[in-house]
């Protein structure tokens, strides 16, 4: 082989070796001339297909379509080449013929000819796309994690995540789409784009576009819908080839060519979608889409965690503030402000109903400074809504929904939601407010109030927060009810529940305070003790509801009679007290007392009927009648009882003499309580004489008190005391038993059985045990019912006519006779009495006393006897004392008479002797 052939073979071998090295040590080999133009490129077949060498030969590197490199970076590279310096790992990005982005690492060095002249550059290139993609994905995940770690809430985090993804992946536009939970709509909530992209129109078209969450039909080219429904990342390489994409026109106007989106998933539910656009047509690598799935899950976990944190924060805030607050009015402003500041809301308000007016208004609100003077806040402060409108009208806004349906309401953007657009929300929109979050405060099925929050940011509905709101609404409602109960208990500790007046403890406290002030200033004051006369009659005959109505009316009238500086209190029952401070003398107390008497006398209406009562007033003065509350109250009470004993419907000043009388009265009351136990009560019997036969036809049992020191106390002294204290019931029961027992004793002694009359007090007649007591007395003493006659007063039966008729019917059904005592002293007539089952009328002694000289009384007695006989009644005249009276009563055919003309009341033994004489007491 010649030397030339050998050299040629060696050159070929070197060339093959160089080609082998360039193929396996790099992706391509390149050479440039002294002007830095490519003269030679050697690629493997795959690289040649992506980047044909024909597109590069004769061009400088900076003439080729590399992306993402600035002019400054190119200038630095050119400076290095002009200095004939080698370079290593110079990273450039370029899209291949299919639109895929590739990263290339270039290294090169200058070469020279034999004379040392610069001939150009030669070097190699490597495809580092996989490495850069891995670095990019790692950087993406790192950027998202950094934002999530640093963010305090979802609202601030999502825009920053959009920016981090766009900048890391070199995309031009990003948006976050979320669901509006109330109407199942998907809405664009947050946007970020590069500064040189005039994206306003594109943002506007996106933010106003909504789509059904569940409906998969229509707009199939939309990446947001596909990502939402499929819960997978989605990309569109060329938007111009997707006619079904609704916003393709606006995207092309901006030069946006490629899009991709990925879902933010919590568990198995799509929480939102992030979409991105690029002005360069590019293919989104499968590895990136897979990485974005991980990013979406990270964002979903972040959103879920923040939701739980928001729930915990709200619950903690509410629980803490409720525990620190004494009333709802104190708690709600603090809750509103703390929730707004903690969760990033710009306004909060507490709405509650006034129970008297049934109007709902804002009781407390908080807002950021820039909203304080806004029309929205001013309107909120002034707004009052009828509860009926909130609960009945469908167009009552978000508060109406809260009150009517008892559910939380979330409106992502009031500007885009017709359902909740009204005057106040329009004012809110004018103040740049967008989102509304409102929930009810409930107790069971009752809505007690509502909390509302507004935000200047379009906020995605937070299901966890909505659930928390329901729990908080219940919690606040329970607090509200508990505080109401505590306030009610506190109120009842100081005020009377029926009248709203200070009760006894609180009034005494105020009296002590007034006395202390009077001592310091040497002032005078008066204490008025008031008892409503005939209240018991109203309460017993018309019922407790009527009695309560009367007491409330009296309280109102009494308050109208005094100054604002004076105090009216209710001690209980029908007893009131009035404290008059700073009076000059007793005359001022008398003036007020007269006003009280006049006010009490005015008729009041129950149903359609007018009734009239009066007031008895006792007055004690400071310093004249006492220097402490206990003594003042005692003396005023004593004076009031003196007023009652003097005829009622007046006032009486306390005096020592009244006190002495009252002391005697109290002593008598104490002794009367022991009279039964000490066997001091006696029954005397006064005969009734038949005008036909002249003989004793019956008797009336009359009560006497054999006092060991005072002697025989007349009934007129102790019977009113017994009735007032309630002792009359036990005394009356004893009288009934003793009368029956004495009748049986006389029968056993062989005396003729005569009808014995027993008086029943009104309290005894109204007792539920009356019928049983009568039956027990008859059975115990083995008496025939016809022997017993019960006497009741005219006023007793007319007080509650319906009940009286029922009781009398039951008494007659037992065979016991019934007599109306003191007929003519009340307001009834025979026409009324005919409806009652009675046997006897006893004409009151006031008509008999002057019947022989008083023509009116004579006519009345004659008429009563005639009408009584016409009704089949037995007529008895009481108080007969003269022969003239007897003759008149005989002339009108009265049946029986009773009085001292024949005999006064006698003890049992003397009455028995009278019966044994068996002589006619009346001589015909």
> Cβ atoms within 10 A of the Cβ of 239, count?
22
Phi, psi of 686, deg, nearest 5: -110, 130
Question: Residues with Cβ < 8 Å from 333, sequence gap 6 or more?
Answer: 350, 364, 365, 366
- Mean pLDDT calculated for residue range 478-496: 83
Q: Are 676 and 731 in contact (CB under 8 A)?
A: yes
DSSP state letter for 369: G
Residue 924 has what pLDDT? Answer: 45
Residue 211 has pLDDT above 50, yes or no: no
Residue 922 has pLDDT above 60, yes or no: no
Percent of the chain at pLDDT > 70 equals 91
Q: Are 899 and 688 in contact (CB under 8 A)?
A: no
Question: Residues with Cβ < 8 Å from 654, sequence gap 6 or more?
Answer: 618, 619, 620, 621, 625, 635, 636, 638, 639
Distance CA 887, CA 691 (A): 10
Residue 614 β-bridge partners = 533
Q: How far is CA 330 from the centre of its chain?
A: 15
Widest CA span in the chain: 198
- Mean pLDDT calculated for residue range 471-478: 85
Residue 530 has what pLDDT? Answer: 96
> Cβ atoms within 10 A of the Cβ of 71, count?
8
Phi-psi domain of 864 (left: phi exceeds 0; alpha: psi -120 through 50; beta: other): alpha
Let me know how long the chain is.
924
Q: Provide the b/e sequence for 870-902 (b: ≥16 CB within 10 Å).
A: eeebbbbbbbbeeeebbebbeebebbbbbbebb
Distance CA 685, CA 364 (A): 78
For the record, the structure tokens of 437 come out as 């979050």
Higher-scoring residue by pLDDT: 429, 416: 429
For the record, the structure tokens of 264 come out as 């933010």
Highest mean pLDDT, choosing among 24-33, 650-659, 780-789: 780-789
Q: Are 23 and 44 in contact (CB under 8 A)?
A: yes
Q: Pick the closest to residue 656 from 629, 628, 624 (CA basis).
A: 624
Residue 134 has what pLDDT? Answer: 81
Burial class (CB in 10 A: 0-12, 13-18, 19+), 681: middle
Residue 777 has pLDDT above 60, yes or no: yes
Residue 519 has what pLDDT? Answer: 93
Residue 14 has what pLDDT? Answer: 62
Tokens 């948006």 correspond to what residue? 175
Confidence of residue 129 (pLDDT cuts 50, 70, 90): confident
Highest mean pLDDT, choosing among 283-287, 422-426, 565-569: 565-569
Distance CA 779, CA 604 (A): 47
For the record, the structure tokens of 113 come out as 């000819």
Higher-scoring residue by pLDDT: 16, 896: 896
Distance CA 296, CA 280 (A): 24
What's the mean per-residue pLDDT of the chain?
84
Phi-psi domain of 84 (left: phi exceeds 0; alpha: psi -120 through 50; beta: other): left
Each residue's pLDDT tens digit, 306-332:
777 777 777 788 888 888 888 888 888
> Cβ atoms within 10 A of the Cβ of 120, count?
20
Confidence of residue 596 (pLDDT cuts 50, 70, 90): very high
- Mean pLDDT calculated for residue range 833-849: 85
> Cβ atoms within 10 A of the Cβ of 923, count?
6
Residue 578 has what pLDDT? Answer: 95
Is the Cα dihedral 371, 376, 377, 378 positive or negative?
A: positive
CA distances from 551 to 285, 492, 496, 569, 616 (A): 88, 17, 11, 12, 15
- Mean pLDDT calculated for residue range 71-95: 92
Residue 208 has pLDDT above 50, yes or no: no
- Mean pLDDT calculated for residue range 70-98: 90
Distance CA 670, CA 808 (A): 34
Q: Pick the closest to residue 228 from 184, 166, 169 (CA basis).
A: 184
Residue 735 has pLDDT above 80, yes or no: yes
Phi-psi domain of 184 (left: phi exceeds 0; alpha: psi -120 through 50; beta: other): left
Q: Provide the b/e sequence for 261-286 (b: ≥16 CB within 10 Å).
A: bbbbbbeeebbbbbbbbbbbbbbbbe
Q: Are 570 and 555 in contact (CB under 8 A)?
A: yes
Q: Are 790 and 821 in contact (CB under 8 A)?
A: no
Percent of the chain at pLDDT > 90 equals 29
Distance CA 387, CA 448 (A): 11
Q: Are 856 and 834 in contact (CB under 8 A)?
A: no
Each residue's pLDDT tens digit, 671-690:
888 887 888 889 999 999 99
Q: Are 336 and 348 in contact (CB under 8 A)?
A: yes
* 3-state class (DSSP) for residue 398: helix
Rounded to 10 degrees, the C-alpha dihedral 622/623/627/632 comes to -30
Tokens 């019922």 correspond to what residue? 543
Residue 212 has pLDDT above 60, yes or no: no
Residue 209 has what pLDDT? Answer: 46
Q: How far is CA 844 from the centre of its chain?
A: 61
Phi, psi of 609, deg, nearest 5: -110, 140
Residue 521 has what pLDDT? Answer: 92
Highest mean pLDDT, choosing among 528-532, 546-550, 718-722: 528-532
Each residue's pLDDT tens digit, 629-688:
999 999 999 899 888 888 888 999 988 876 666 667 777 778 888 887 888 889 999 999
Q: How far is CA 785 from the centre of its chain?
A: 61
Distance CA 840, CA 151 (A): 99
Q: Pick the closest to residue 410 from 443, 435, 430 (CA basis).
A: 435
- Mean pLDDT calculated for residue range 370-386: 87
* 3-state class (DSSP) for residue 841: strand
> Cβ atoms within 10 A of the Cβ of 123, count?
20
Each residue's pLDDT tens digit, 230-286:
888 888 888 888 777 777 778 888 888 888 898 888 877 788 899 999 988 877 777
Residue 215 has pLDDT above 60, yes or no: no
Residue 465 has pLDDT above 70, yes or no: yes
Higher-scoring residue by pLDDT: 418, 783: 783
Residue 210 has pLDDT above 60, yes or no: no
Show the beta-strand stretches assigned E in 573-648: 575-583, 604-606, 609-611, 614-622
Rounded to 10 degrees, the C-alpha dihedral 767/770/773/775 comes to -160
Residue 875 β-bridge partners = 841
Residue 803 has what pLDDT? Answer: 84
Each residue's pLDDT tens digit, 176-201:
988 654 445 677 888 899 988 888 77
Exposure on the CB side of residue 688, measured as CA atoms within 13 A: 22
Q: Can you give the C-alpha Rg of the chain in angstroms?
A: 54
Distance CA 835, CA 856 (A): 26
Instruction: Provide the pairing of β-strand 173-180 with 185-193.
Output: antiparallel
Question: Residues with Cβ < 8 Å from 390, sequence gap 6 or more?
Answer: 360, 396, 399, 400, 403, 404
Q: How far is CA 525 from the centre of its chain?
A: 42
Q: Pick the closest to residue 691 from 488, 924, 475, 535 (CA basis).
A: 924
The C-alpha angle with vertex 294 and arms to 175 and 342, in degrees rounded to 5, equals: 60
Burial class (CB in 10 A: 0-12, 13-18, 19+), 167: middle
Residue 218 has what pLDDT? Answer: 43
Instruction: Provide the pairing of β-strand 896-898 with 874-878.
Output: parallel
- Mean pLDDT calculated for residue range 709-734: 83
Residue 77 has what pLDDT? Answer: 93
């Amino acid at each position: 082989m010649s030397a030339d052939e050998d050299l040629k073979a060696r050159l070929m071998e070197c060339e093959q070796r160089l080609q082998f090295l360039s193929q396996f040590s790099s992706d391509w080999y390149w050479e440039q001339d002294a002007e830095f133009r490519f003269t030679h490129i050697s690629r493997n077949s795959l690289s040649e297909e992506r980047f044909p060498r024909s597109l590069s030969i004769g061009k400088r590197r900076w003439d080729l379509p590399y992306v993402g490199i600035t002019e400054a970076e190119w200038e630095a590279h050119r400076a290095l080449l002009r200095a004939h310096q080698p370079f290593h790992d110079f990273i450039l990005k370029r899209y291949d013929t299919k639109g895929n982005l590739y990263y290339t690492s270039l290294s090169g060095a200058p070469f020279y000819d034999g004379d040392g002249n610069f001939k150009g550059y030669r070097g190699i290139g490597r495809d580092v796309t996989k490495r850069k993609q891995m670095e990019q994905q790692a950087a993406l995940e790192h950027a998202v994690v950094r934002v999530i770690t640093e963010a305090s809430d979802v609202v601030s985090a999502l825009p920053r995540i959009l920016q981090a993804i766009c900048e890391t992946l070199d995309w031009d536009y990003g948006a976050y789409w979320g669901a509006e939970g109330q109407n199942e709509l998907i809405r664009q909530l947050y946007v970020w784009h590069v500064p040189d992209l005039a994206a306003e129109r594109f943002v506007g078209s996106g933010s106003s576009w909504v789509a059904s969450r569940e409906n998969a039909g229509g707009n199939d080219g939309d990446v947001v819908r596909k990502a939402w429904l499929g819960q997978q990342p989605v990309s569109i390489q060329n938007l111009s080839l997707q006619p079904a994409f609704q916003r393709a026109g606006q995207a092309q106007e901006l030069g946006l060519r490629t899009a991709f989106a990925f879902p933010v998933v919590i568990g198995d539910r799509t929480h939102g979608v992030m979409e991105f656009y690029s002005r360069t047509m590019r293919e989104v690598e499968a590895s990136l889409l897979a990485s974005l799935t991980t990013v979406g899950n990270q964002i979903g976990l972040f959103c879920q965690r923040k939701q739980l944190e928001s729930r915990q924060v709200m619950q903690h805030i509410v629980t803490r503030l409720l525990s620190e607050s004494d009333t709802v009015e104190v708690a709600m402003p603090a809750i509103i402000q703390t929730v707004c500041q903690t969760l990033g809301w710009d306004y909060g308000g507490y709405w509650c109903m006034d129970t008297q007016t049934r109007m709902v208004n804002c009781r407390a609100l908080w807002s950021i400074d820039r909203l304080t003077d806004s029309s929205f806040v001013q309107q909120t402060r002034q707004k009052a809504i009828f509860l009926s409108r909130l609960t009945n009208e469908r167009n009552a806004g978000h508060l109406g929904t809260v009150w009517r349906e008892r559910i939380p309401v979330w409106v992502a953007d009031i500007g885009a939601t017709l359902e909740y657009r009204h005057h106040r929300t329009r004012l809110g929109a004018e103040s740049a407010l967008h989102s509304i979050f409102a929930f009810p405060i409930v107790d069971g099925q009752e809505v007690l109030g509502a909390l509302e929050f507004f935000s200047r940011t379009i906020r995605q509905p937070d299901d966890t927060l909505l659930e928390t709101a329901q729990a908080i609404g219940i919690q606040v409602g329970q607090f509200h009810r508990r505080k109401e109960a505590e306030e009610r208990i506190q109120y009842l500790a100081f005020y009377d529940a029926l009248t709203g007046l200070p009760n006894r403890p609180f009034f005494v406290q105020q009296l002590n305070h007034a006395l202390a002030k009077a001592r310091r200033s040497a002032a005078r004051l008066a204490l008025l003790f008031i008892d409503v006369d005939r209240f018991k009659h109203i309460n017993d005959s018309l019922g407790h509801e009527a009695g309560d109505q009367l007491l409330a009316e009296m309280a109102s009238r009494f308050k109208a009679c005094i100054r604002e500086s004076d105090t009216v209190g209710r001690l209980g029952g029908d007893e009131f007290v009035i404290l008059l401070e700073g009076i000059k003398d007793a005359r001022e107390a008398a003036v007020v007392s007269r006003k009280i008497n006049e006010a009490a006398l005015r008729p009041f209406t129950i149903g359609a009927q007018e009734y009239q009562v009066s007031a008895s007033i006792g007055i004690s003065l400071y310093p004249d009648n006492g220097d402490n509350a206990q003594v003042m109250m005692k003396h005023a009470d004593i004076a009031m009882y003196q007023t009652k004993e003097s005829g009622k419907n007046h006032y009486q000043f306390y005096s020592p003499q009244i006190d002495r009388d009252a002391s005697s009265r109290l002593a008598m009351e104490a002794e009367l309580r022991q009279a039964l136990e000490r066997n001091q009560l006696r029954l005397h019997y006064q005969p009734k004489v038949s005008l036909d036969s002249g003989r004793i036809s019956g008797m009336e049992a009359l009560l006497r008190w054999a006092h060991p020191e005072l002697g025989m106390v007349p009934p007129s002294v102790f019977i009113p005391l017994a009735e007032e204290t309630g002792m009359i019931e036990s005394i009356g029961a004893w009288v009934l038993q003793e009368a029956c027992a004495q009748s049986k004793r006389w029968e056993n002694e062989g005396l003729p059985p005569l009808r014995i009359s027993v008086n029943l007090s009104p309290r005894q007649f109204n007792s539920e045990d009356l019928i049983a007591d009568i039956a027990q007395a008859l059975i115990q003493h083995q008496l025939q019912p016809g022997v017993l006659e019960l006497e009741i007063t005219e006023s007793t039966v007319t007080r509650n006519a319906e009940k009286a008729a029922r009781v009398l019917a039951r008494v007659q059904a037992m065979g016991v006779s019934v007599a109306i005592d003191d007929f003519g002293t009340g307001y009834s007539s025979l026409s009324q009495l005919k409806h009652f089952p009675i046997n006897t009328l006893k004409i009151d002694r006031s008509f008999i006393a002057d019947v022989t000289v008083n023509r009116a009384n004579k006519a009345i007695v004659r008429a009563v006897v005639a009408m009584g006989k016409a009704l089949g009644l037995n007529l008895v005249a009481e108080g007969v004392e003269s022969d003239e009276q007897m003759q008149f009563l005989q002339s009108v055919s009265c049946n029986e008479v009773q009085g001292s003309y024949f005999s006064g009341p006698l003890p049992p033994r003397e009455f028995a002797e009278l019966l044994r004489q068996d002589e006619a007491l009346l001589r015909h």
